[in-house]
Amino acid sequence: MSERITLDYGSGGRASQRLVKELFVRHLGNPGLNRLDDAALITGLEGPLSMSTDTFTVDPIFFPGGDIGSLAVHGTVNDVAMLGAIPRFMSCAFILEEGLDMGDLNRIAASMAGAARDAGVSIVTGDTKVVPRGAVDKIFINTTGIGSVIANPSPSGSSASPGDLILVSGSIGDHGLAILSHRQGIAFETDILSDSQALNHLTVKLIKEAGPIHVLRDPTRGGLATTLNEIAQQSGVELLIEQEVIPVRKEVEGGCSFLGLDPLYLANEGKFICILPEKSARKALEIMRSDPAGLGAAVIGQVREGRKGRVILRTPLGGHRLLDMLEGEQLPRIC
């Protein structure tokens, strides 16, 4: 039987030290982390800076297309990037459940290392706690990221202006459906992979080459619909979205209709919304479509004066309806 995490590993004593050195530093090591001081020494970061934190709790911890480790890196890297920044450094804190398989933890740390390397960030500080069985579900990871903002002005959810076009970088709902379809209790299988990926290379390219970008947001929890509503509210504008051109994979559409879910409310972990003046939209679309992270990019709508904070969906039939914010969890229906 493989080794398991015991409460000793969170004691701060020798066992903790071994875990840090033999597992975390082995995978994630870099000059900053290897110092093993109380804090990370950061040099060379020029302001203004973008900083973001997020805590990751996902069930299952390994899912098609990723795992909680890569997700914890991508999620924070993407949030930092959405302010028009180049993410550089990260912290990560683990809360481990007593009994967690050491092999699983190894895989997760290795996956974090790979994701961090691909995104060009260094994990320079961290923490580990072990809590009794049942106090958390296997493993929770918090990551905080920081990077230099290169966009001026920095994109913001409150900067959408009437006339701007709304772009999305690819198919919607992949992550949410991949997770749901592999969650225990749902006997239903698809080939859908999570879209979990770092977006910073593409957003940096856009900022440098497409001209001023008003809004960059990644529609994670709550999905595209919820994020669009947040933008409409923050910017005090109305958004008109064309349903027919929103990219949704056939398998996701099929899975959603089976489970009674709406892909527009499913989480994404590797897509972003980009809102910018109409005149730069074509260039932006070209840049996105020539990057692996934006192959399926599309223009999905436009910002207009209208009623503040409202998102309207024009359906393929030509009807108009509200595209509302998600209230709570989407729940499986009866029939």
Partner 1 sequence: MNLLNKFRDPKLCQNLLSQIKEELEDEFRFMEVCGTHTVAIFQSGIRSLLPQGMVHLSGPGCPVCVTHDREIAAYLALCEKDLLVATFGDLIKVPGPGGRSLKTAQAEGARIKVVYSALDALNIALENPGQRVVFLGVGFETTAPTVAAVIKMAGKQGIKNFSVLSFHKLVPPALAALAADRQISVDGLLLPGHVSAIIGIKPYLFLAEEYGLPAVIAGFEPLDILQAILVMIRQKHESRARVENNYRRVVADQGNLRAMEVMDDVFERCDALWRGLGTIPGSGLAISSKYEEFDASKVYGQELPLVEEIPGCKCGDVLKGLIQPDKCPLFDTRCTPARPVGPCMVSTEGSCAAYHRYVL
Rounded distance, CA 335 to CA 326, Å? 21
User: Near partner 1 by CB under 8 A, which window of 23-31, 67-75, 117-125, 307-315?
Assistant: 307-315
Number of C-beta neighbours around residue 304 at 10 A: 17
Rounded distance, CA 266 to CA 257, Å? 13
* Residue 28 parent element (H or E): helix 26-28
Rounded distance, CA 321 to CA 65, Å? 34
Decide: is 304 part of the binding site for partner 1 (CB under 8 A).
Answer: no
Decide: is 31 part of the binding site for partner 1 (CB under 8 A).
Answer: no
Decide: is 330 part of the binding site for partner 1 (CB under 8 A).
Answer: yes
What is the SS3 assignment for 238? strand
User: Near partner 1 by CB under 8 A, which window of 191-199, 207-215, 278-286, 319-327?
Assistant: 319-327
Decide: is 320 part of the binding site for partner 1 (CB under 8 A).
Answer: yes
Rounded distance, CA 196 to CA 74, Å? 7
Q: How far is the CB of 176 from partner 1 (least distance, A)?
A: 15
Contact, 68 vs 58, CB < 8 A?
A: yes
User: Near partner 1 by CB under 8 A, which window of 37-45, 109-117, 126-134, 323-331?
Assistant: 323-331
Contact, 73 vs 165, CB < 8 A?
A: no
- Beta bridge mates, 145: 52, 90
Cβ closer to partner 1: 209 or 244?
244
Contact, 53 vs 60, CB < 8 A?
A: no
DSSP category for residue 272: -
Decide: is 321 part of the binding site for partner 1 (CB under 8 A).
Answer: yes
φ and ψ of 62, to 5 deg? -115, 125
Q: How far is the CB of 242 from partner 1 (least distance, A)?
A: 12
- By CB under 8 A, name the one of 98, 121, 185, 284 that touches partner 1: 185
The first and second tokens of residue 311, run together, are 């998102």
Q: How far is the CB of 307 from partner 1 (least distance, A)?
A: 9
Contact, 303 vs 164, CB < 8 A?
A: yes
Instruction: Tell me, by CB under 8 A, how many residues bind partner 1.
Output: 30
User: Near partner 1 by CB under 8 A, which window of 36-44, 56-64, 171-179, 247-255?
Assistant: 247-255
Decide: is 308 part of the binding site for partner 1 (CB under 8 A).
Answer: no
- By CB under 8 A, name the one of 117, 254, 282, 308 that touches partner 1: 254
DSSP category for residue 21: I
- By CB under 8 A, name the one of 46, 47, 134, 331 that touches partner 1: 331
- By CB under 8 A, name the one of 259, 277, 304, 309 that touches partner 1: 259
Decide: is 335 part of the binding site for partner 1 (CB under 8 A).
Answer: yes
Decide: is 132 part of the binding site for partner 1 (CB under 8 A).
Answer: no
Footprint of partner 1 (CB under 8 A): 185-187, 250, 253-254, 259-260, 310, 312-322, 324, 327-335
